Amino acid sequence: METFLKNPLFRVSLGDIYEIRKIHNLEKPGRMEQAVNILESWILKQDHIIKKDFSKVYLELALISNKGSVEKAKKQIDRLCTMKALLPKFFLKTNVKMELQDLMRIGKLVAMPTLTDDFYRIILVQISNTELRNDSLMQYYQYITILAEYVKTHDYCNGIIMIYDCRQLDLFDLMTKLNTVELQQIITILVEGYGARLKGIHMLTESKAIELLINIVKQIVSEKISKRIYSQRSLEDLYKEIPKKLLPVDYGGKQRSVDDLHDDLVKELSSPEHIEYVKMMFKACTDESKRHAAKFNEEYMGMPGSFRCLSVD
């Protein structure tokens, strides 16, 4: 539990952990340990999954993100390992501070320390008016996978609420840089691979172009997610959906500033310990020569993108 209780970025209490487990029927003594042991035994029997020694914390959070379902957790772990083999371009960077410097000039991503009353983590992306480069979105996706690896072992929450502050962003410029296949791939990685449970995605902007962007995104996400994408024209509109006190002080809230939270997150993600951990986890992929081809076709051939580079015997 110390992994969560002493984390420098997230405030999580023993009470929070108990209540989140209770939501998923895992609060009774021995229930979580039993479920984790089942996952450990299952992984050892999967010849195509290269990494065998996932931490108990990692497996516990896989269970939480899958509402306590062992079978769904198995599928999620398998999918993430497979995606790391199929879509390596999203897993190339491991050092935020040194390899993604250009992204830092475009915007700031912060995770709010305090959970909502229903145990969701708020993540805010503040985007500047700097013109996007052709590779800016891919850099953002690579940043997100680094962050996701951190969250999968350090944060105990019931899901995520995303806020994109696009008030300074030229949305038409963004849409010219948007590759919908890559966007669909990263969403698949986050939702089906990392098990991100999205309660809501809030786009803060007065631009009329936001409806066009949202319509593009809705075409490539599930119906469930599409119904959770909202546009907010002002902070006052945002306050109707997100508790004001949980936002940074520069957004009228009571939390630390965006700059301070951003600096702390970059420092944590760029620590030698996390860099080495990410390198290890990005190698936790699959050896598809050891998986039955029919099983692979059944599970993955519907995924977006090209798999011509993959040879399945």
- pTM, to two decimals: 0.93
Q: How far apart are the C-alpha atoms of 226 and 269, rounded to whole Å?
A: 30
Can you give the pLDDT at residue 259? 98
At residue 308's C-alpha, the angle toward residues 307 and 309, to 5°, is: 90
Helix H, strand E, coil C: the string for 97-125 is HHHCHHHHHHEEEEECCECCCCCEEEEEE
Q: How far apart are the C-alpha atoms of 196 and 115, rounded to whole Å?
A: 15
Which among 309, 273, 84, 291 has a CA at the least distance from the CA of 192? 84
| Residue whose entry in the numeric block shows the structure tokens 């940074």 | 248
Can you give the pLDDT at residue 309? 37
Please give the single-letter amino acid code of residue 223: E
pLDDT in tens, 175-229: 999 999 999 999 999 999 999 999 999 999 999 999 999 999 999 999 999 999 9
Our separate counts of H helices and E strands in the chain read 16, 5
The mean pLDDT of 41-54, rounded to a whole number, is 97
Q: Are 248 and 261 in contact (CB under 8 A)?
A: yes
Q: How far apart are the C-alpha atoms of 211 and 119, rounded to whole Å?
A: 29
Q: Are 99 and 150 in contact (CB under 8 A)?
A: no
For residue 130, name the pLDDT band (cuts at 50, 70, 90). confident
- Write the DSSP string, 256-305: PPHHHHHHHHHHHHTSHHHHHHHHHHHT--B-GGGS-HHHHHHHHTTSSS
Q: How far apart are the C-alpha atoms of 140 and 148, rounded to whole Å?
A: 12
pLDDT at 54 over 50: yes
pLDDT in tens, 219-257: 999 999 999 999 999 999 999 999 999 999 999 999 999
pLDDT in tens, 133-178: 999 999 999 999 999 999 999 999 999 999 999 999 999 999 999 9
Q: How far apart are the C-alpha atoms of 247 and 124, rounded to whole Å?
A: 9
Please tell me the number of Cα atoms within 13 Å of 128 on its side-chain side. Answer: 14
The mean pLDDT of 106-122, rounded to a whole number, is 97
Can you give the pLDDT at residue 294? 60
Can you give the pLDDT at residue 292? 75
Domains of the chain: 2-88+285-300 (no CATH), 91-272 (3.40.525.10)
Q: What percent of the chain has pLDDT over 70?
A: 93
Q: How far apart are the C-alpha atoms of 261 and 9, rounded to whole Å?
A: 8
Can you give the pLDDT at residue 129? 79
Q: How far apart are the C-alpha atoms of 170 and 167, rounded to whole Å?
A: 8
Q: Are 264 and 141 in contact (CB under 8 A)?
A: no
